[in-house]
Structure 1
Amino acid sequence: MEDEDSIGRRIAFYRKQRGLTQIALAQKASVSVSLLRKIEQGARDATPVLVAAVAKPLGVDVTVLNGQPYDREGPGRDRIHELIPAVRAMLNYWDLPPDLETPTRPADQLIIEAVAIAHLRQADRNVEALSRIPAVLLEITAALYATDVPSEQETLHDAAATVLHPALSILHATGYDDLATITAARITWVGDRWGSPLVAALAVHTRTSSMLRYGTYDVGLRLTERARADLATEGTDADALRMTGSLHLRSAILAARAGDADLAAQHITEARAITDRLPQDTDHLWRNLAFGPTNTGFHDVATAIELGDGPRALTLAEGLDVPATFARTRTAHHFMDLARAYLWQGRYDASLACLQRSRELAPQQTRHHPTTREVTRMLVRAHRHTNEPLARFTAWMTVN
């Protein structure tokens, strides 16, 4: 992977196109000139915080600077892109029923189908999941408008949320932020129709995914605070507590990206207090938030990395005992984070090993993530001599 394909090169291109000097862009983005210069030269990896900071004054989407969506053309075209037109068509149906050629299945069968799709996403089988989502969600939507039986409506709302959340996760991961934003709005619609505080909280959690990417951390923090206050009326219900904990973890990352270490630590502490009451790791299917001690530990490491504290992140990671049965996609993301921390410490072999571990766990997610590409590019730059494992990994990144 060459520097010509780096985020830094894209930043430099749009900066010059806008007629901005490095000093002017650094001032507008509130970053140091030396850091911006190193990133444009390819001597430093571009973090999500930096990319979000410069995207706004450049008037460019974050996905454009990241180069996403990846692999849309040529012999290495990713299969995921063939599925996007059907997703766009599906998202047009929400406030009116679609016309289907065949009758809809019963609600209890549709929820089974929805859960199966959620499991596919958790297993990193994104292409298979996204290929099934449009038809199933259209059927669920049609069924919702065809019944006035409260129990069936509740099951169908549950099924809709179960399908929409993995759809949003896959769309974000592959760089289709416009569709992910629409999908988040659909989750809000489901919550409003259902009247479920948990789905309302899930909608907030999904909305803040875009806020993390685009740097509106203060708005995200206010939204998550309000959502936690709304959930407090649910008392000590286990699902409400787990959702509250997940919102604390999201707030920790928002605070870390905003540079507020104390607030990030406070939210991690609040999440740990909930894990003391609910010590079992859980995968929530439609919530897909994998809350518990393990994910709280992952977020503790991630906040240190977001704050630029590589040594602390690696120390925290050493104390983690990750169950083999834990969600593969979340564990893979943890190893992607660690790859960046090891890179900063000059431990290049360990950094590559983390990327390789992430690939083993969740190859589709790993290949689509900007962190993988930035860290891999930096590792190629750091190795002056041939490194066969790195060469193989780079080849995997660039060819399907």
Structure 2
Amino acid sequence: MDETTIGDRIADHRKARGLTQVALAQRAAVSTSLLRKVEQGSRDATPVLVAAIANVLEIDVTMLTGQPYDRDGKRPDRIHALIPPLRRALAYWDLPPTPEYAPRSWEALARDAREVSRLRQAGKHLQVATLLPRLLQEATVGLHDAEGTVRERYFEALTVLLFAAHSVTYKTGYEDLSTVVEDRLAWAAQQSSDPLMAALAAWARTTSMLRSGAYDIGLHLLAPHLDGIDPAQPDATTVAGALHLRSSILAARAGDAAKVEAHLVEARDLSARLGTDSNGGWHQLSFGPGNTGIHDVAAAVELGDGPTALQRAEPLRLAGAVPAIRAGHHYMDLSRAFLWQGQYDRSLASLNKARELAPQQTRHHPTTHEVTRMLVRAHRHTNEPLARFSTWIGVV
């Protein structure tokens, strides 16, 4: 089990650079008091703080979060054994792999791509990572052998598969690989005839920008895609709504509450028109009233406003159409908001709900590890449910 906290890693890298807490806090534009508390382990390290400090120290965010988790030890997570085959499959793009089998029709590949999408939205990382290497290679062979419209459709299927690969690699902490996938996604989307695939690729690319603190650049990237969506296209409303929701989180990380609200207003209008939650269909980006409500809560958490987040969450009822990975992330956000308000039992209950909905995602997320450490610190006496949960994710 890993006993090193994000605060410990920040302190180690800070000292290696010869910086005082005051100097690092000034350069990262955070308060010295907050930095001191994070290093001491009495405050959780938010994504905004981690990104800001990683930028100053000129290191990857994962060097502070400690990801990927559960890669070593007596019982390493099975997902890590599936990453090398996926990495090899992603090496092919401009040149086709030597096929061990004849590629199937685009229609057959598309059916499997839809199944991978369903598994991704259910948070089934192990199953997705198992299926992807062969399907990625098959799609690559197919597009190199095809011409015209059929070739463009292979690129559509490849974009869907790459989006799943991005989800798995990012959510399990393989930052280097997820960034490579973002480049492949942009390339594949451009080769398809579907302009909404380019919007999907841009949405995925902003993941790196959220992680690295490049929030304004992410907003700039999404803006032309929002302007260019043809409302008559299938899935146009869901894609536009999802881009507004992602923009609201980018704006929240940037601390721009006015821009957050502007994007949420647009999303609320689009979700009202849609009437119900959609999983995004072929274009992957889920959207609807429930998802908009989730982002309403998430934006408040990102702005550091726990009371508002909990107030907004109280009336929220998530329908079954909201993907498990999105609902699971919502409960991780709530765990942080409850933690800030000193409601430790509800914070743990939220983590357990996230585990119930999307266990593989929950186990590998930095929020889970940070909040669990803070809960362990807050409980001076034995707490059996917390002990079981902390053992499950490998936190002492």
TM-score by length of 1: 0.96
Structure 2 residue identity aligned to 1:160? L
| Per-residue deviation, residues 40-75 of structure 1 (Å, max 9, x unmatched) | 000000000000010011121101100001111111
- What is the CA deviation profile of residues 20-55 of structure 1, one whole-angstrom value per residue up to 9, with x for unaligned ones? 000000011000000000000000000000000100
Distance 1:213 1:117 in 2: 25
Contact 1:76–1:398, Cα closer than 8 Å, also in 2: no
Answer yes or no: is the 8 Å Cα contact 2:186–2:201 preserved in 1: yes
Which amino acid letter does the alignment assign opposite residue 121 of structure 1?
R
Q: Partner letter of residue 137 of structure 1?
A: L
- The Cα of 1:324 is off from its aligned counterpart by 3.3
Give the whole-Å Cα distance in 1 for the aligned partners of 2:109 and 2:320: 30
Which residue of structure 2 lines up, in the alignment, with residue 217 of structure 1? 215
Shift of 1:227: 1.4
Residue 230 of structure 1: how far off its partner (Å): 2.0
8 Å contact kept, 1:331–1:358: yes
Matching of residue 281 in structure 1 with residue 277 in structure 2: yes
Q: Measure how far apart 1:391 and its partner are.
A: 0.7
Amino acid at match of 2:314: E
Unmatched tracts of structure 1, length 5 or more: none
Match of 2:109 in 1: 110
Q: What SS does structure 1 have at the residue aligned with 2:327?
A: helix
What corresponds to 1:50 in structure 2?
49
Q: Does 1:380 align with 2:350?
A: no
Q: Does 1:11 align with 2:7?
A: no
The answer to whether residue 353 in structure 2 is matched with residue 354 in structure 1 is no
For residue 52 of structure 1, what is the amino acid of its counterpart? A
Deviation at 1:285, TM superposition (A): 4.4
Change (3 A) 1:167 1:285: farther
Report the counterpart of residue 227 of structure 2 in structure 1. 229
One-letter identity of the residue aligned with 1:276:
A
Q: Which residue of 1 aligns with 2:62?
A: 63
1:336 to 332, 343, 353: 332
The residue number in structure 1 matching 2:164 is 166
> Which residue of the partner structure matches residue 261 of structure 1?
257
- Greater displacement, 80-89 / 295-304: 80-89
Residue 296 of structure 1 and its aligned partner are, at CA, apart by 0.6
Distance 1:339 1:316 in 2: 14
RMSD of the alignment, in Å? Answer: 1.4
The answer (yes or no) to whether the contact 1:278–1:292 under 8 Å persists in 2 is: yes
> Could you tell me the percent identity over the aligned residues?
54
Q: Contact 1:302 / 1:337 at 8 angstroms: preserved in 2?
A: yes
1:301 to 293, 297, 304: 297
Residue aligned with 2:68, SS: coil
Contact 1:245 1:270 in 2 (8 A): yes
1:118 deviates by 1.2
| Contact 1:343-1:351 within 8 A present in 2 as well | yes
Query: 2:71 matched to which residue of 1?
Result: 72
Identify the match of residue 201 of structure 1 among 169, 174, 199: 199
Distance in 1 (CA, whole Å) between partners of 2:42 and 2:48 is 17
Q: In the alignment, residue 187 of structure 1 is paired with which amino acid?
A: L
Give the alignment of 1:316-335 within 5 angstroms: 316-335=312-331
Instruction: For residues 214-235 of structure 1, give each alpha carbon's deviation from its aligned partner in whole angstroms, at most 9, with x where no partner exists.
Output: 100010011111211222xx13
Aligned counterparts of 2:285 and 2:235: Cα–Cα separation in 1: 11
**Letter of the aligned partner of 2:322 in structure 1?**
F
In the TM superposition, residue 184 of structure 1 has moved relative to its aligned partner by 1.2
The worse-fitting range, judged by mean Cα deviation, of 125-134 and 348-357 is 125-134
Aligned match for 1:188, one of 186, 189, 197: 186
Q: Work out the CA distance in 1 between the residues paired with 2:249 and 2:83.
A: 29
Q: Which amino acid aligns with 2:134?
A: A
Any runs of at least 4 consecutive aligned residues in structure 1 with deviations exceeding 4 A, and if so which?
none
Provide the secondary structure at the position in 2 that maps to 1:100: coil
Q: Distance in 2 between matches of 1:128 and 1:122?
A: 12
Equivalent residue for 2:267? 271
* Cα deviation, residue 85, structure 1: 1.4
8 A Cα contact 2:152 2:191, kept in partner: no
Structure 1 residue 244, shift from structure 2 partner: 1.2
> CA offset at residue 236 of structure 1?
3.8
Confirm or deny that 1:248 pairs with 2:235.
no
Stretches of structure 2 lacking an aligned partner (at least 5 in a row): none
Secondary structure of 1:5's partner?
A: coil
Matches within 5 A, 1:305-316: 305-316=301-312
Q: Does the CA contact (< 8 Å) of 1:165 and 1:286 recur in 2?
A: no
Match of 1:33 in 2: 32
Aligned equivalents of 1:249 and 1:280: distance in 2? 16
Pairwise CA distance, 1:101? 2.2
What is the number of residues matched between the two proteins?
A: 395
TM-score with structure 2 length normalisation?
0.97
User: In structure 2, how many angstroms separate the alpha carbons of the residues matched to 1:56 and 1:114?
Assistant: 36
Question: For the residues of structure 2 that align with 1:286 and 1:47, how far apart are their CA atoms?
Answer: 33
Contact 1:252 1:303 in 2 (8 A): yes
